[in-house]
Each structure stands twice: as C-alpha cells, then as structure tokens.
Chain A
C-alpha cells in the first residue's frame, strides 16, 4: 500500500493506492489532515487513466511526407528535437526557443524545467499556465505582505474563525472535501459569506450570499471598507502598529458609498450593510479569494482591495484569521516557486536580483552572467510565437494550451506558425495533436515527486506502480535533451536527488525548502515552507510577529475600480463568465478520458428570464458569441445565475475561444472571468417562442439536491 495524493487540484487530498490483482485501487488515508479521508469523484476514479487505451507509450514524430504523426524511438525523437533546437538557436539566438510549463508538474519537474531553459537552452522565454491561475493573488500578496504563500495558515484553521468570506470561490464543486471545513465552522456557530455571480453549491452553504456583476468584486470591497470605516470598525491600533499606507486607502474608499457600489456591482445596499454588520461584530475574520476575484485585468487590484479589508479589520497575523488565496492547480503553489516563471529563479528569487543569480548559478555550477534575464509572461510568450521577435520553437510540459489559453483561436494560430512544437504528455491532448514531436511521459502513481499544496505544505506523491513500457519520466526527458543540447552541467534524473538540489537552490530565498527531505515529509504529513534547516519545524502559520516586508509591516495599497476591459454593449449585451464543473479538471485532458466521470461537454448556463427573452429551452443548443469567437452548446437553464450573465465551463475546446486576452498590468493574468457576449438560438425558430404567443415557458432542470426547481412566471 502506498500513501500519495490526488493527481488533480491544489487541495492534494491524501489517499492510498493498493494493487489488488491487476487493479490499482484508491482508498482513504484518514490520517492526512487536509481532507481526513474524504475525496470527490475525481479522486476516487484517479486511477482511470492507468492502462487506458489512449495512453501514449511511444514517441511520435510528424512525418514530413504524410504530415501525420508516426511512432519513433526515443533516441530518434530526442536527437531530432535537440538537432532542430540547436539549428534554431545557432541561427536566431537562444530566445528563439521557448518553454511552457504547468502548475500540475511536481516541484522537481518545475525546478528542472527552469534549469533546462536557463542553463541547457539559455533562453529567457519560459513561463507556465499558473500565470492563468492565481498569479494576481501572488502579485497582490507580494505587494501587501512581501511574500506569496496561498494560505499563510493551514486550511483547517478556517473552522475556528468567526466569519469566513469567500470571494469568487466555488470550493464545494472545485475542491469538495474542503467544504467540510465550512460545515464544521457553521456547526460551531461561525458564519460563511459567499460572493459569486452564481449561487453555487458553495453559496448554498453560506449564511450570506452576495451576487455581484462579474468583474465588480473590487468595487464591492471598496464599498465594504467604506462602511466598515464609517462604522468605526477599523482596528486603529493594529493599523498603526503593523501596517503602512492606510490613509491613502481611507481616502480611496470614502468615494465608494453604498449606493454608488450598488449601481456598479448590482448588489443591493441592504446586502452590503448586512456584510458590514457581520464583519464589524466579528472577532476573527478570514477572507479567501479564488479565481473569480483574480482572473481579471484588475485581478491584482481586486485582491489588494480585499487584503485592505482584512488589514483594516486587523486580521492578518492573528490566530484563525487573515487573508488567503485558494490556489487552483495541484502544484499551483510549488510550480510558481522554483523557476518556471519568466521572472523568477528557485526559492521565489527574482531573476533580476544579482544576489539571487549569484546564489542559484553557484548551485547550478555555471557563471551568473550566463543566466538569461526575465522573459515574457505566458500569454505574451504565446502571442509572440512565430512572429519576428517571438520564439520559433516551443517545448510544452504539462499544459494543454489549445484548450486553456484565453482567446484560444489566436493562440492556436500562433502554435501553428511555429517551426517546431514539442509536447510531453501522457495522452494525445489537443495541443499534443498539433505537435511535431510528442514525447510520452510517466503519470501520477508511476513516479515520485513532491507538490506544494494550497497551504504551502510540501507533500510527497510516491510511486505505486511501474510505468508502461516505452514511457520516460519528464526528468529523464529533460536530462536527455540537456545532454544533447550540450549543457555545461549534467541534469539529475532521480527525483529525490533533484529535490535535494532544489532545496540548496532555494536556501535563503523567500520559499526556502532547504530543511525539507522526503523522510521528513513522510514523518510529518508534509512540511510547511519556509523551512531553512533540518532542525527547523517548518512554518504552518505566518505573520504572527512580522510581515515579510523590509520594515516588517504589511502595506495597504490604495486601488480604484475600473471594471472589466470589455463591458456589455448593444451588440454584446451580456456578461460571460467561465469556470469549472465538479467532475472535470482544467483542460480535461485527463478527466475527460476517465470512463467513470461524466463527460457531457460544455453547456451555456443562463437564467430563465434570459432564456425567455431569447426563446431558449433547457437542453437545446444556443450560440454564444464574443468579439473573438463563438461556441454552440446546449442551454442549461437555472435560476441560480444572474439574469444578465451566462456561464460556460472551460474544460472543453470552445469556452476559451470566447474569453478576452486583456491582461492584468501587474500579474499578466488574462481576463478569463468577464467579457461581453451575445447569446442566441442555434437556428431561428419558425414557431414564435418569445413566451408571449404560447403558454410555454422554459423549465429549470434538476441539477442537484440543493437546487430548487423553479419555473419563471
């Protein structure tokens, strides 16, 4: 029996794997504290890709004559890739090769990928899909607290807060076992507030639910702080002792009185006052943001506004209170700490910091001056591919760009313009299908490696079974490429050895792993960073005495609401927002292939009032159009969404053909969560269907036990 963690989201639920005959079985691991044995259906069915008929087990190379992919040997494939990369590098310089990573890669792979780019290839052009996940929360936390660890406390702490505010998080569907903490909090008398344009299953567990227009969480925070200040609820002592910059924030929020906020956010003043009263009277308040607040062109400012609320109430650093971000991807946290981000080196060091370059270069055994500088952010990197000043070759590890990038039609065209696309994956994802070379790699349960969960807890996924013949680990692939590219230093392939090297590279950095070993992770149910030495206990809770800023104080940052880059108009009169469904994960490359998970395809969620307006019926196809593309999918008519908003899940090709590529100026996060769209019937109906000529009206579906059946009047 092997203890490990689920292959999907940032909760990284503990589980055990046991080989029974030929079947690998998932069982609970009740001792692991984050999920205490609970799993969602994705976890229970996580072994569904093992032995799957679509599993890639041999390298594939695109045949010049036929244009089709054909099987090839490893040496042939790696020689081919390295040869082409050398040619391009010699002809156009190292930045002509770009590398794209993922937030699902283990720490070891993420670290090695950064090293591969900077040392073996010499390119500055490396970034990863985590830029599209929680990067706005990361840049906000760095500004406010001087450090970015998603949750600066263990998740279970929320059971002991007085009021928990979830801004743009649907954790009951996206990380279901986490919802148990909400229930326990409420059982012990605490309150839960949910802020979301949709009344989600998470909102069904809330004591107070606010339903703002997409892209207005920032204005809501400003209005809340306005009311809190007016009510005298600001913790002046804390503000004076532990923070700087409150005066500017106070001035900014004076301009956001409740009626103005109501007009912008669509949240009635009475609701905002209720929230203010709840928070003003609470001893401990915890604010958590997720993608709903973060994936905006003003995502960083939105998170800062909510951090300002938490700081004004005197919460960060207080026990069972504060601010945190619920990271999305499995290794969204670790993936951003070890060097696959365009501007960072391992240990959350900045690549333009001479001392950081010196330290990391020494660990790597290279000259600091040989390291490239900062490269482009994820979307900018992709958007430049195949252009005069962009890269001509791209190596992709652990990402399905064709499905997950915003404005996907444009990005797909950029991929097609490449001289060379190489994709390492376990199945033929939509992105792999475009590649010139596909490299089959090991998957979860076939390899060992560490992840860093949403709490900053470093955990270990242990190998439980042997990989199928013909596949190699990503670390093997990187070492093979490094060697062929003439790397000045060898690349390790043993994960534990890579982790030890990562620890040395991170030593002294903000995310310091130096004291963490596989053995300690096994013994301690994970170790929280920073953990600078073997005798250091790790850091489950941060900020009790000081923040990670030079003066030890948290920084208030004054921000103002500008709204989404694209707002509804006469042609595109509705808000479009995107998100996840419980049974699927990210681009669906894995979960769509698991037989026991329903793969119903995308749908267009809309309110009965909107459905009546356009004549849509539940289950019948409608077309969503934006300035960038269109999607045809069945209508799903629910009364739980704002009537001026439609929702499309992003696990399938389509949703991201619609989304906007406007970027946050600080985090470079695209605005996935809000753009303007139009919705219409697939084919205009011959029968009058506006609901006036007949007595028919669309009828809501039965989606879950928690959703009520309602028919519009």
Chain B
C-alpha cells in the first residue's frame, strides 16, 4: 500500500502545467510508486535480449549502447514498413482530444502525458523529426523533436504506464489504438535494453519452465493435487485431472495464476469440477502450463516464441482441440495472434463440444475455445444442474476485462453464465462496462508492487463504479474472466472498496454446480459458509 491515504490520492489536479509538453522532465526519484523496476540482467541474458546490465531509472546514466539513437531510428524505420497500424496512427491523429479523458491513468493521475493523444505524441514527435518532410524542414514548429536522452526517459516512464487496454481506441474517430503505439514503442525500448522486470522475468520463466511463475513440473503437479484435495473437502468428490496425457480429446490451457494463488485457485477448482462432472476427456500440460503471454508486452517476436508451446504441445499430445481458461491478455493473443503466428493448426480438428455436439464455428481455424463459450453452450443445452442459491451469500457484478472486451468481444457468454449461477447479479454503470470497461490498472506487466501508487490511481475509475453498485445494491463480489484482474483487482478493492471481493466466473459455476454423488455442501469453494445456513438445512 502506498504512503498516500485515499483522500489524498483523490485530490487530482487536471490543470496542465505551464511547461510545454515538448520539454521533457521526469524526476524518477520524486515519482517513486509510479514506475516499475528495470529487468534484471540475468533475465535478459537468459532470453538473449540486448544490453543486459544492472541499472535504475534514478541513475543519471542509463548505460545505453553507444549508438542507441541509431538503433531506435532504424528500429522505427523497420516497424513503419512492417506495421501499417503504426505508420497510419502516427500520421492521421488530429488531436481532437476525444481520447483524453478515456484513459484510466489520466483520470486517476491528471498527468497530461497520460492522455492517449500525448502518450502517442511522445513517439510521434520523434517520428516527425526523423521521417516527415514537414518535421525535417520546420522542426519544432511542425511538432518535431530529435530524440534525446530526456525524451527516451520519458518514453520509458509513459510507455510502461499504459496498460494497452484499448479504451481510447473505442472513442477515436480513426480507431487509433494506443495499445499498438505502446507495444511498438516498447519494442523500440527493448532494442536498447529498456524493459521492466515484472514483464521480463515472467517471460524468462515462461520460456524455461513453461509458465510465468516459474513453477516446475513437479510443483505443478503438487499444486494441482492440493487443489484436488481442497475440492474433495468441500464437495466430497475427488476429481482426477491428468497431466501430459497423450490421446486426450482436449488440451486445457489456463493462466498459471489459476493454479498458484488466491483467488484464482477457486476458479481453477471450478473448472476441474465442471469438466469432471461431465466426464470431459481432457489433459493439462506441465510444459504448456501458461495461457498468458507476457511476450505480448515485450515484442511480437517474444509473443510468438512463448505462444509456440501451445500448438507444439497439442500436436505432441495428439488432442483434437484446445480449451482455454479465463484470462484477459491470453485471449487477445489467442484471438488475434496465435493462428497467424504459429498456425495453421491443421493437425487439430475443428472444435465440437463433446457434450452438446455444438460446433464452435467461430474457432474453426484456430481450434481453441474459451471456457465461457464452452460453458454457456452447456447451460443453454441444459447439461448442467445448477443451484444458484448456493451463491446467495454473494451479490455479484461483472468486470469486463479489457482484452476479452476490446480485442475479442466476449461480453454475453460470461453474463449468461453468471445469471444462471447466481441469483443476485447487478451491472455497473454503462460507461464502465462492455466495450467501455475500465482497466484494473495493472495490465500489460504493470501489476507489480513498486508501481502501486499508479496502479491504485489507474484503477480508481473501475473501483468507483464498483463502489457505486456496492452502495446501491450491496454488491460484495466482483467477478471477472482474467487472471491479472483477479490478482490486481483484489488489491484495488482492498484499498478503495474493502467490502468487495474478487472471483472468476467459474468459481461461481463450481459453487452452483450440483453433481451426482456429492456431499451436501455447507460452504462455497473458499470454505465460507453458505447463506442462511442453507447447507445445514439440506443436510
């Protein structure tokens, strides 16, 4: 928790400073709590990334390669031809300002360089200087700046202060997507060794062990067995998930946080219970034990490198298709990048639900289905026996995670599931949900402790909407379909709305699911007693 109190943190001054934005001045020491630690040299060395060294943003000398300006200039030139998005977005912005108050970091900090338009201008001004006629001739009059160390430091600060949530892109008349700008700016920063450890360490872990948390195969198995025991205690049912089993019908890939820590583990227990109750023939993999992909926050090459494992493992195990757990940026990668990068997945079959026979035609090529699509289909076909009253101790609202909302559009499936498994469901205000949803403040690798003040500021608009439904409807649970959300929102709620907990959607499915042979439930998956002593009455 930051030293600042809640009342102090909401004193936000939106008055722009006197100083022209084109004159950079970031004092990292004075802004502690709003930036992330740089990547440790050992992680860069393991991954073979440039310029490994130990340094701090508060150092005067960032130990850049001698020709760093040339490296970035060449890197930008290359990306301008590789990415039409970048070239176009740098060219067509009219600075209408529609995006300005759409960014959660701007709303929570008042720092004008968190307005998406100015965040992009940080890069755009250098692009003008190096690549446009007007910029080359007129310089600053045309809004152009030569890249200086001070500007590079500003890039580091602000491009690691964007969660790539795409909310601004929804409102932009040209669809300019700051996530795209940030992703490519981070690629440039990576070329000269400017990265953050909370991204690079998970990437290194994932490459080596198979998951971001660095969980090795024996621990992976232990964790799952522990959760199986827990599940047996609550339900009396012993589920039997297999690991690395060849010939299973489905490979099931989840974000690693789901088998590692609260509250994700309850979501994982929900998945296992659901799949077991239906007798689905699936296997987990200790090698492809990560659905998430922090490569997305590093470079397209790193994203491809980490994502490689999923298809590689599906082919080795000989499964028919792949089922994916609840995770936000994981689904951005699967929906918008996986098939292009590591496909075609012609060794798999077009996915068909083994229970309902529904063909998931929307995943015919990628062959990977979101578990909410899978479960919504089950409920629609009446394949699940559900007792929503087991969630009566909960009053639930739903947080649309950025990537599933704005890079996929999975909006109705989780809502349909929630309305089937809980009796008390309330929506947050419309400007804060669905495609207009507000970020948790900790996506894109920013969910680390040293960046806590910025996380709490960025999460303020989301927390505000939660507080609204908490006060109006007594909401005490924020459900979501993202592993980063489950971790980050828990901290956010503890700070801003401590009465509200955080869960995945399948945790609530697990609570409500009535399974043959189970014992009468007295608690939910967390071991909390059910409402009105319901369990006891049933017994």
Q: Are A and B a genuine interacting pair, yes or no?
A: no
Residues of B within 8 A of A (CB): none
